[in-house]
Amino acid sequence: MVNVSQAEVDLYEVLGIANSANKDEIRKAYRKAALASHPDKVPEAEREEAEIKFKAVQEAYDILYDEDKRHLYDTHGMGAFNGSGEPGMGAGPDLDDILAQMFGGMGGMGGMPGMGGMPGGPRANKPRRSPNEEQKYEVKMEDLYKGKTVKFASTKNVICSLCQGKGGKEKAQAKQCATCGGQGVKQVLNQMGQFLTTSTVPCSTCNGEGEFFSPKDKCKKCKGKKTTEERKILEIYIPRGAREGDKIILEGEADQVPGQEPGDIVFHIVEEDHPVFRRAGSDLTATIDVTVAEALTGFSRVVVKHLDGRGIELQHPKKPGDVLSPGQVLKVPGEGMPMKRGDERGDLYLVVNIKFPDQNWKPSPEVLEKLKEMLPRPDAPIQADTVDEVDYDPKGDLDEFGARDAHGGSAWEDDDDEGEPAQCAAQ
């Protein structure tokens, strides 16, 4: 294992330059060496080796290109850069910046082992269960009301039926992985601030198994992968009354991994918005439209179609002479969502929206005069010393309310208003 932080490696040798090289020569040598050993540019099998070399090249450059650090290295060797409290280390060039300039950002290096927190570890730490598959499942409110059985096709990895998850032919023996010596893991160099450290990652040659079958010994069906894909029809039951965040678990239906108990598929219920009903727990609310005439004189009709398709009929008024007001709430007990246990249900809250006549209503002056006579009179006039009769815009918009003072900073900003920027510029 090469570790330039600890072993006495000649940094000049790493870059292939003379001890007398000037800064320009160091930079050129670094570019050449870094490009030659860049892990993205080599075949998969040589990648880890290339990465170690690449890191060594980076560190050599980092130290030799900085005059202070180079002096330290020339006089004290790598020992000057180990441990904490390194002298004069604060002002060095940022390696990430240099790499970003050379390779157009760190994005391309995301796939390099050892750069981030790689999951998995030595073979001994393998989990006993394969991971659960968590997924969201959107459900219509109608289906949450009634309950529903859903069938769907799922493709999952199952243990190969030919080799029973061995990966090789019946009598074949797996070979120990030479890359990791059968450990399933490898040490790689990581950059920690200015320095290189080693960390343990799964071996890429054997996929962390520590052994593998030679091509001729591989199982014909799974080609050594130990698992095959299988399409299966799965069925889940969404119980009536289920709600957002509820989990539906299909035990043992996650991908199978040799030597592990299969994990579960877990559906997290997400409630779809409904055009009519809104839900809070087991209660429902909906807005019902009622005409002015109905509000005043009464009605007997279906006001809303429930989630199971039933018409919900109301009789108004309950007491002769009662009038419905805008925003009045009519509570219908027991017509909310079903509870998960038992036969009880929540309640339904109907909010009254009085529909006033629109432009299409063209009453004659006589009708209006009669209405005026029939309907309640206005309150006593407001008393004032002076009275101004003013003009008005019948289509005022409350969104504009206060918008003129938005520049003051404390008022709200109206981002949707496209006219706003031009207005700002003009002032």
Residues at the contact surface with Zn ion, assessed by CB under 5 A: 160, 162-163, 177, 179-180, 203, 205-206, 219, 221-222
DSSP string, 109-166: GTTSTTSS--S--SGGG--SBPPPEEEEEEE-HHHHHH-EEEEEEEEEEEE-TTTTT-
CB 160 within 8 A of CB 255: no
Which of helix, strand or coil describes residue 391?
coil
d(C-alpha 355, C-alpha 260), whole Å: 64
Pick from 34, 268, 223, 233: which is nearest to 153 by CA?
Answer: 233
Residue closer to Zn ion, measured from CB, 179 or 190:
179
Please state the closest distance from residue 168 (CB atom) to Zn ion, in A. Answer: 8
- Least CB distance to Zn ion at residue 115 (A): 19
Residue 18 DSSP code: -
Between residues 50 and 203, which has the closer beta carbon with respect to Zn ion? 203
Nearest to Zn ion of 3, 176 (CB atom): 176
Helix, strand, coil in percent for the chain, rounding step 5: 25, 25, 50
Q: What's the closest the beta carbon of residue 222 comes to Zn ion, in angstroms?
A: 3
Query: Which strand (E) or helix (H) includes residue 317?
Result: none
Show the tokens assigned to 9. 């490696």
> Closest separation between CB of residue 41 and Zn ion, Å?
22
Minimum gap (Å) between residue 189 Cβ and Zn ion = 18
Residue 215 or 333: the one with the smaller Cβ distance to Zn ion is: 215
Pairing of strands 148-159, 211-212: unpaired
Cα dihedral 190, 195, 198, 202 in deg (nearest 10): 0
Residue 313 token pair? 């009929």
Decide whether 221 or 268 has the Cβ nearer to Zn ion: 221
Residue labelled with tokens 């994990």: 263
For Zn ion, give the closer residue by CB, 54 or 213: 213
- Rounded to a whole number of angstroms, the minimum distance from the CB of residue 201 to Zn ion is 11
Question: Which residue's CB is nearer to Zn ion, number 219 or number 324?
Answer: 219
**Closest CB 229 distance from Zn ion, rounded Å:** 12
